[in-house]
Amino acid sequence: MGRSKIDPQGAVRDMFGEAQQADPPPQVAKLQKRKPARKKRPDVTDAASKFLTVDEVAQRYRVGKATVWRWVKNDPNFPEPIKLSAGTSRWSEEQLRTFERHAAKRSVSKAKGQAGVSGARVGKGAAK
């Protein structure tokens, strides 16, 4: 067999210039035999299964954390948190969306009810 040279592309050329594929170095062969990396979890999950922390809920409504807890205590329409453990509560994003839709409907119906009232004031000092 004649002398062979390895060119930059990794092909082995014999003395006649015919190219043959060279065996990869052991380090490269090891890397090629590895299993493909596991797929990463998607960053965005299904909306029905996404849960928000108290900080995220407060940020969503642009209020403080204390306000969120006050809503939980005093507003029967506001969704209850899901307790994962002591000190760990989460709100279902789907329940929050439902709450927002109902709040918007209540707001519209309240505005319609007030639109039927004339501008006359009733109360102390009002003309009889």
Does the residue 14 lie in any domain?
Answer: no
User: What is the pLDDT, as a whole number, of residue 114?
Assistant: 73
Does the residue 80 lie in any domain?
Answer: yes
Question: Among candidates 47, 68, 48, which has minimal Cα distance to 56?
Answer: 68
Does the residue 119 lie in any domain?
Answer: no
Count the domains in the chain: 1
Whole-angstrom distance, CA of residue 90 vs CA of residue 53: 5
Does the residue 67 lie in any domain?
Answer: yes
- Cβ-contact 94, 85 below 8 angstroms: no
User: What is the pLDDT, as a whole number, of residue 18?
Assistant: 62
Domain of 86: which CATH number?
1.10.1660
User: What is the pLDDT, as a whole number, of residue 107?
Assistant: 81
Residue type, 37: A
Does the residue 61 lie in any domain?
Answer: yes
Torsion sign across C-alpha atoms 80, 86, 87, 91: negative
pTM (global) more than 0.85: no
Question: Among candidates 14, 111, 85, 91, which has minimal Cα distance to 50?
Answer: 91
Does the residue 28 lie in any domain?
Answer: no
Does the residue 10 lie in any domain?
Answer: no
Does the residue 95 lie in any domain?
Answer: yes
Whole-angstrom distance, CA of residue 126 vs CA of residue 104: 33
Range of the domain at 71: 47-105
The pLDDT averaged over each successive group of 10 residues in the chain (128 residues) is 56 61 61 65 60 94 95 93 92 93 84 64 52
